[in-house]
Amino acid sequence: MRTADIRSRFLDHFAARGHTVVPSAPLPTPDPTLLFVNAGMVPFKPYLTGELAAPWPRAASVQKCVRTLDIEEVGRTTRHGSFFQMNGNFSFGDYFKREAIEHAWELSTTPLSGGGFGLDPGRIWVTVHHTDAEARAIWRQVSGLPERRIVDRGDEDNFWSMGVPGPCGPCSELYYDRGPALGREGGPEVDEDRYMEFWNLVFMQYERGEGTGKTGYPILGELPRRNIDTGMGLERMATLLQGVDNLYEIDETRPVLDRAAELAGVRYGADAESDVRLRVVADHVRTALMLLADGTVPGNEGGGYVLRRVLRRAVRSMRQLGFHDPALPELLPVARDCMAASYPEVAESYPRILDRAGGEEEAFRATLRQGTTVLDTAVAEVKRSGSRSLPGAQAFLLHDTYGFPIDLTLEMAAEQGVEVDREGFTALMTAQRERARADARAHKAGGGADTAALRTVLDAEGPTDWRAWETLTTDSRVLAVLGPRGPVPVASAGEIVTVVLDRSPFYAESGGQESDAGQLTGASLSAEVLDVQRPLPGLIAHQVRVTAGELAAGDSVRAAVDPEWRLGARQAHSGTHVLHAALREVLGPNALQSGSYNRPGHLRLDFPWRGALSPETRSEVEEAANRALRRDLPVGVRWMTLPEAKELGALALFDETYGEKVRVVEIGGAWSRELCGGTHVEHASQVGVIALTAESSVGAGTRRLEAAVGVEGFGYLARERDLVARIAEQVQAPRTELPERIGGLLQRLKAAERENKQLRQHATTARAAELAAGAVDADGVLVVTATAEGGADAARTLALAVRDRLPAGRPGTVAVGAATGSGAAVVVATNDAARQRGLHAAKLVKRLLDGRGGGSAEVAQGGGTPADRLAETLGALDRLVAES
């Protein structure tokens, strides 16, 4: 049975039993504690914890998941995969243990002809928490399993919580005996390879208190509404039903593995190390495909770094297998064909996927060429010194300068028998991140509030009545005034605090749109709103600076958004949609927005593209955008279900979480149709103008456009006009002739520079010949010393020119010094005869400069000597040569 068919059979089973089938959420998640969805319950977390009311009493899904904590184990064991799919059925205060057990047993054991999975009941084992006599009794009644195949286990294995105070409860796991060829008899406690876990049923019935780890925290009591959360590993069920040994051999991964083996000219199963690399490739190519399909872009932080890492590990594994050509264009189509039956979007967006992956591979191949040379040199130096540890500073240099990720440095160094000073590297990375965080904090007006305090407010008062789409002012009541350590009794003038209101007109920063600015006013209060965030689902938090009077919980205030700020924000956000549509109109559908930021007067938009846009293409995109403004396209908002929005062709941003109903913003109908929660103008002409100000690279295969909009856009164009007028006046040419006139000036300047260079070369040649003719004999060695104008480069050029003019048969050594900004530089050069006699340029320069310098036996350079002592320094050369 194909994996796609197993997926469909699972959903059909639960749909027939009253469950709402919920589509998989995108892999990137807004949960601040996660980079990607890593379990089937993650999208349902607000409903399971009670933060939000569930829109359905029972649901079922097949959720895409990525886990990379065990990425080093991928391929080395057959139980770890970075991408997997979790089948789950959920009850939100509806059914509980008996129904969950009945559903699982029925689907697992019903014959294939009856719509089930047809597993042999005689080979199924079950585990329960050792205190859960109720679950044990239900299993006996429902399944008829003998007592010995219902195994009691402790908290570590069969009690679930999220690791923080909140819902928890016992769980029950189903295992399948794959036969004596795979391990010892005795059930899952004896051998979990032979007895493969395929389904976990979590019974959320208690509330836990504070504590760490999986045990030792107090149980505070029963939950008012008990929930069910189950997870059945789709890849594990496919392994069982397809009769293969592990998840790398099922129909969604084995074709990728086989293609990799074919390209590399190896056979799977013939060599253990090659098998590991083939499994890494099979897993990582599929993982990368799914991350790229869900909008993740390779980068240096967060989820982008995870994607970059799995792509690079796949490429490097192919190189280790002996395949040095571009691998991803050969492997990704195979993964696409494997996954498209379940996820049609991977086929629909494949051109974009391949473009981004191809750009990343191309960049990584260049990185490997540069970084490998540097790493090999550093490792050789470590070994020569007798050490076995690469300094953290060297690893940081590879990461920061050459884009070599630390995991790659660790792997490649280990292959050569060298460890890496990971602590030193981490300290340097931490310092760099702290600098970045400090820069980010400098752009904020103050600290944030304690999350626990915010949750207490939400639990007590409920969600904020949010009116940002409807109005710029509300009469509001202050629910809480919070500082970094919790509630603040009173905030006085000059203090910065976080304020929660019962209702708010302020837009909270999200979807690339910066938060609103404005004021809170009261009888004697004036406070400036500096930042607005949504720290918890449903809760709006305002960071404010009290400018007059005092602010306390319970106060009545007038909340007012700055209308000019909001107008500018609306213009920028609608301008971003217009620019995105114009970009796709000019470049095609692959130019899909991968990130954006907009604030009054300014927008930026990131999109996947290989290579810079030409000036002509930039002009075409800008013209398409402004043409839409001139046509005054209508801007409309519609609410619909997510499937309806996708059917309509609305574009979704993959780092957003969508509810049962989604908000679709249209500009000119189908011309621009995106899912969006931001604020917008009513007609496109209200944007004013879109003036592109910059186009740049922000990573391999990703470009960034920046633009000024509205009043700031007109101001930018006016400044450009004035600048052109000044240039035209200076070069005394009409504006229309400026490109030709400036081009002519540049050509003449380049010609003059070439002429000057030739003159300098002639002068250097003439002087070199003169200096070589005046060489002094020092114990049989011709010695020349001189000074040069123009810094260290000029000194090096002159030293080599003089050396090359010394008689070939006689040993010769040249030292040339030149003043630099901080002192003087000295270059020493030797000819072949001098080196045969034992003279070494690097040793000579170090002796001249008290150890400051380095290079080769042929030419070396150093610095640090004061400029006024340069003649004295050079004068010592003949003595040093004679002593050598």
Q: Answer yes or no: is 750 within a domain.
A: no
Looking at residue 1, the DSSP 8-state letter turns out to be: -
Give a yes or no: residue 743 inside a domain: no
Going along 484-522, which residue ranges are E strands? 486-487, 491-492, 496-501, 503-504, 518-521
Residue 735 domain-assigned (yes or no): no
Q: How far is CA 746 from the centre of its chain?
A: 42
Residue 573 marked as a ligand binder: yes
- The pLDDT value recorded for residue 693 is 94
| Burial (Cβ within 10 Å: 0-12, 13-18, ≥19) of residue 375 | buried
Which of 534, 561, 588 is the endpoint of a domain?
561
The closest alpha carbon to 629, from 671, 569, 673, 677, belongs to 671
Q: Which of 786, 781, 745 is nearest to 769 (CA)?
A: 786
773 Cβ neighbours under 8 A, 6+ residues apart:
none
Domain boundary (383, 405, 439) is at 439
CATH number at residue 544: 2.40.30.130
Judge if 160 and 245 occupy the same domain.
yes
Query: Residues 134, 41: one domain?
Result: yes
| Nearest residue to 292 via CA among 608, 538, 579, 582 | 608
Mean pLDDT in order along the chain per 10 residues (884 residues): 95 95 89 83 88 90 88 73 94 96 97 95 96 96 95 92 85 95 90 92 91 78 92 95 93 96 92 91 96 86 86 90 92 96 91 88 81 82 84 83 74 82 83 56 48 88 94 96 90 92 95 92 92 92 93 94 94 96 90 89 90 90 95 94 86 62 92 93 95 85 90 91 88 86 89 86 86 90 91 88 90 91 85 91 88 83 84 90 84
Kindly report the number of other CB atoms within 10 A of residue 402's CB atom. Answer: 18
Are 464 and 427 in a shared domain?
no
Q: To which residue do tokens 């909270």 refer? A: 508
How far apart CA 697 and CA 714 sit, in angstroms, is 26
Domain residues for the domain of 637 are 567-718
Could you tell me if 66 and 82 lie in one domain? Answer: yes
Annotated binding residue 680? yes
Distance of CA 204 to the CA centre of its chain: 33
Residues 857 and 874 in one domain: yes
In this structure, are 588 and 689 located in the same domain?
yes
Assess if residue 424 is contained within a domain.
yes
Looking at the structure, do residues 400 and 429 belong to the same domain, yes or no?
yes
**Residue 285 placed within a domain:** yes
Do 327 and 357 belong to one domain? yes
Q: Which two tokens stand for residue 787?
A: 């000074």
Q: What is the pLDDT of residue 765?
A: 83
Is there a binding annotation on residue 338?
Answer: no
Chain segment 639-670, per-residue pLDDT in tens:
998 888 888 888 876 445 556 788 999 999 99
pLDDT digits (tens, 9 = 90+) for 278-319: 999 999 999 999 999 988 888 777 888 889 889 988 998 998
The CATH number that applies at residue 877 is 3.10.310.40
Instruction: Return all residues near 66 (Cβ < 8 A) that are at least 6 apart.
Output: 27, 35, 36, 37, 38, 82, 83, 287, 290, 291, 306
- Rounded to 5 degrees, φ, ψ at 857 are -65, -25
At residue 448, the pLDDT reads: 59
Only one residue has tokens 């702290």, namely: 434
* 68 and 60 Cβ atoms separated by less than 8 Å: no
Spatial distance between the Cα atoms of 724 and 422, rounded to a whole number of angstroms: 54
CA–CA dist 172, 189 (Å, integer) = 14
- What's phi and psi for 92, nearest 5 deg? -110, 85
Q: How many domains does the chain have?
A: 5
Tell me how far apart the alpha carbons of residues 527 and 503 are, in angstroms, rounded to a whole number.
Answer: 17
Q: Are residues 233 and 272 in the same domain?
A: no
Report the CATH number that the domain containing residue 167 is assigned in CATH: 3.30.930.10
Same domain, 79 and 217: yes
User: Are 71 and 94 found together in one domain?
Assistant: yes
Does residue 737 fall inside a structural domain?
Answer: no
**DSSP string over 47-85:** HHTTSS--SSSEEEEEEEEE--TTGGGBTTBSS--SEEE
337 and 261 in a single domain? The answer is yes
Give φ, ψ of 265 to 5 degrees: 70, 35
CA neighbours within 13 Å on the CB side: how many for 822?
3
> Considering the domain boundaries, does residue 733 fall inside one?
no
676 is in an annotated binding site: yes
Does 445 map to a domain?
A: no
Residue at which a domain ends, from 501, 536, 561: 561
CATH number of the domain to which 653 belongs:
3.30.980.10
